[in-house]
Structure 1
Amino acid sequence: MYWVLKMLLLGPVVRWFARPRVVGRLPKGPVVLAPNHLAEIDSLVLCAALPRRLTFVAKSEYFSRGGAAAWLYGTLCRLTGQVPISRGGDGSADGALAAAAGILRGGGVWAIYPEGTRSPDGRLYRGRTGAMRVALRTPCAVVPVGITGTRSVDRPGRRGWSRGRVEIRLGEPLDLSGWSDRPNDPATWRAATDELMSAIRTLSGQEYVDRHPTDTERAARDAA
């Protein structure tokens, strides 16, 4: 179903609106793809524009929350084999991260937004450590990605998409050798994640905020 949606149903529509341009190459073999997150359309643009199949983690609420829009998105996630993940800090995401490790062991591409949520204001926020928790334990390439232009296509507070121009900048895989001897150390996850966010910032050109978005900022974003 992923390839049917990408090539025949949804992909052509997304490509018409976003007109994506890809700079750089996605390597072969297992990859953690780590983009910034500006708009709800980001995942669709990445899937439509990049040649390999991407498996994202999606908020678990999308798989169970009521409402037509949430049901539609949850159904799309199920049809394309996406992985539900909780944003709680109590270990509730461990199952999804284990599933992500399985994707990598199978040679696939696991895509995750290190920020954990869409930016409420276009800035780049502090990354969460899940991507590095997996990457440091599983042989893979970690590719930072800078997306620009999706907030013009999928404008906050406006229904429907506008035609625009999106650029997807694929960075060079990170060198993880400096942390490879400490794959289970939370301080190592944090340092590697900060390095990843620095690379994403360079690619996206965003202003960096060294904290996570607050509940109030996320609520204001979602209300818009």
Structure 2
Amino acid sequence: MLYWLLKYIILGPWLKMIFRPQVEGRGHIPGSGPAILASNHLSFSDSIFMPLMVKRKVTFVAKAEYFTGKGIKGWLIKQFFVGTGTIPVDRSGGRAAQAALDTQLRVLRSGNLAGIYPEGTRSPDGRLYRGKTGVARLALESGAPVIPVVMLNADEIQPPGTLIPKIKRVKIRFGEPLDFSRYAGMAGDRFVERAVTDEIMYELMELSGREYVDIYAQKVKTQQPVPTQPGPRESLAA
């Protein structure tokens, strides 16, 4: 109930009026049945704008810390994630990744949409980083198609570390569904999962026009900052 109130009455109409989202390829999202929305990750606002542009509910998983924050800020963040149907996952244990995968598999097997950020974390500089193979395992075990989706300018609207977004038109692009049925029954094969993941990341690179870096974003974040490269080669018309 809270999800529908936020999306269609409280939050959604205001965000659409203020940020005037411009979307390409929304017709690639199936009207029913399971599908995986695999997105690049530029900003915290990705989790707000992308689901807002999809008529069906998109379920993400998020670290449990988002649901346990203190004070007014912590309460607001918790209410947002609860209201958008995000499922908390404890990432402190060794089985955290499997817990997230199992949660998303239940979503897909119920015939719903699952959202995932293959990079595993926000890009530190706007470039596209190596994908983790969880997205491939999710696709292979569920048999669901993967819809690549790119946030084209979310890092300009809300750069990492900023709280208040800039008022600027949001630009999103959905790609054609990727079918991995040719690999049916091969979940768990690390070479197959890497090939599937790389294919998804290639589509995200092509759709976004962002430079691809073949290392994990989390590794970059633990090292010295990487100089920011030019952004998209192309974007939607203003």
Do Structure 1 and Structure 2 share a fold, with TM-score over 0.5? yes
Identify which of 144, 147, 157 aligns with 2:148: 144
Q: Which residue, 121, 124, 130 being the options, matches 2:125? A: 121
Q: How does 1:59-138 map to 2 (within 5 A)?
A: 59-66=63-70, 68-85=72-89, 90-138=94-142
Map of 1:22 onto structure 2 = 23
Corresponding pairs, count: 221
Question: Does 53-62 or 117-126 show the bigger shift?
Answer: 53-62
Q: Deviations over 1:41-76 (max 9, x none)?
A: 111101222211111111222123445434422332
Give the secondary-structure state (helix, strand or coil) at the position aligned to 1:137. Answer: helix
Matches within 5 A, 1:1-224: 1-24=2-25, 25=27, 26-28=29-31, 29-66=33-70, 68-85=72-89, 90-214=94-218, 217=221
Aligned counterpart, 2:231:
none
Question: What corresponds to 2:229 in structure 1?
Answer: none
* Alpha-carbon shift at residue 39 of structure 1 (Å): 0.9
- Mapped to 1, the partners of 2:173 and 2:10 lie a distance apart of 25
Greater displacement, 37-46 / 67-76? 67-76
Gaps of 5+ in 2: 226-238
Q: Secondary structure at the match of 1:136?
A: helix
Deviation at 1:7, TM superposition (A): 0.9
Kept in 1, the 8 Å contact 2:6–2:83? The answer is no
Q: Where does structure 1 differ by over 6 angstroms across 4 or more consecutive aligned residues?
A: 218-221
Q: Is the 8 A contact 2:137 2:188 kept in 1?
A: yes
Across the aligned residues of Structure 1 and Structure 2, the Cα RMSD in angstroms comes to 2.3
Report the equivalent of 2:236: none
Give the superposition deviation at 1:204: 0.7
Q: Which moved more, 1:199-208 or 1:14-23?
A: 14-23
Aligned-residue offset at 1:216: 6.4
Contact conserved, 2:133 with 2:193, CA < 8 A, in 1? yes
Residue 206 to residue 49, structure 1, CA distance change in 2 (3 Å): same
Q: 1:185 to 1:115 in 2, by over 3 A?
A: same
* 1:169 partner SS: strand
- Point out the more displaced range, 23-32 or 81-90: 81-90
How far apart, CA to CA, are the structure 1 residues paired with 2:19 and 2:182? 38
Decide whether aligned partners of structure 1 residues 169 and 73 sit closer, same or farther in structure 2, where only a CA change above 3 A counts. same
Stretch of structure 1 that moved more, 162-171 or 71-80: 71-80
Shift of 1:157: 4.5
Post-superposition Cα deviations, 1:188-207, rounded to whole Å, max 9, x if no partner, equal: 21111111000011111111
Q: Aligned to 2:188, what secondary structure does the other structure show? A: coil
Q: Could you tell me which amino acid in structure 2 is paired with residue 160 of structure 1?
A: I
Q: How far apart in 1 are the matches of 2:143 and 2:220?
A: 38
SS at match of 2:55: coil
Contact persistence 1:31–1:109 (CA under 8 A): yes
SS at match of 1:182: coil
